[in-house]
């Protein structure tokens, strides 16, 4: 009897440790060319970090990249890497970042315009899932660099908690 209880507790602990549970998931990110000329640089940011990298090679598809927490770790050859000053505000009108290697180097993105490309809403096991794609123009202000405008494609993903709704699968 005691062995059975211990085995059950060990199994339950293993399952809980192997499967992290989130009440919800909210991620966002944008990417696009940083310069006016093809072949300049590209900018990519997610909820937690931002990088400026050479335009070639391409970093990948936004659908695969926007959930990466530490872009500098994923792309160590980036020209510059920044951490978000706030990670809980979403795609705001104004967002600020601090350089990972030089805290005096700041980068600010200020939204100038936005156009929705697509939006979808689904129910996933009693949870609301919203996915939005937008084309946004941001003014980029960076310490010791000229101010410039960039046109980026942005993706925002939101999966809510179940909120008491049952999970009914078809």
Q: Residue 118: inside a domain, yes or no?
A: yes
In 3-state terms, what secondary structure has residue 100? coil
Question: Which tens digits make up the pLDDT trace of 37-46?
Answer: 656 899 999 9
What pLDDT sits at residue 165?
Answer: 65
Q: Residue 133: inside a domain, yes or no?
A: yes
Q: Residue 103: inside a domain, yes or no?
A: yes
Q: Residue 16: inside a domain, yes or no?
A: no
The total domain count for the chain is 1
Q: Residue 170: inside a domain, yes or no?
A: no
Q: Residue 87: inside a domain, yes or no?
A: yes
What is the spatial distance between Cα 146 and Cα 35, in angstroms, rounded to a whole number?
A: 11
Q: Residue 164: inside a domain, yes or no?
A: no
Residue 129 is inside which H or E element, if any? strand 127-142
Which residues span the domain enclosing 138?
A: 24-159
Question: Which tens digits make up the pLDDT trace of 49-72?
Answer: 999 999 888 888 888 888 888 999
């Amino acid at each position: 009897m005691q062995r059975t209880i211990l085995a059950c507790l060990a199994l339950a602990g293993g399952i809980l440790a192997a499967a992290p549970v989130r009440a919800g998931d909210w991620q966002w990110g944008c990417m696009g060319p940083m310069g006016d000329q093809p072949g300049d640089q590209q900018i990519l940011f997610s909820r937690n970090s931002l990088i400026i990298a050479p335009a070639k090679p391409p970093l990948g598809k936004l659908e695969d990249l926007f959930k990466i927490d530490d872009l500098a770790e994923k792309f160590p050859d980036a020209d510059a890497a920044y951490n978000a000053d706030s990670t809980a505000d979403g795609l705001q009108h104004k967002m600020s970042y601090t350089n990972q290697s030089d805290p005096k180097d700041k980068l600010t993105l200020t939204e100038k315009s936005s156009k929705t490309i697509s939006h979808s809403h689904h129910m996933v096991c009693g949870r609301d899932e919203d996915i939005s794609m937008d084309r946004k123009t941001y003014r980029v202000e960076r310490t010791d660099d000229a101010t410039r405008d960039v046109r980026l494609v942005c993706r925002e993903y939101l999966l809510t908690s179940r909120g008491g709704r049952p999970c009914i699968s078809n």
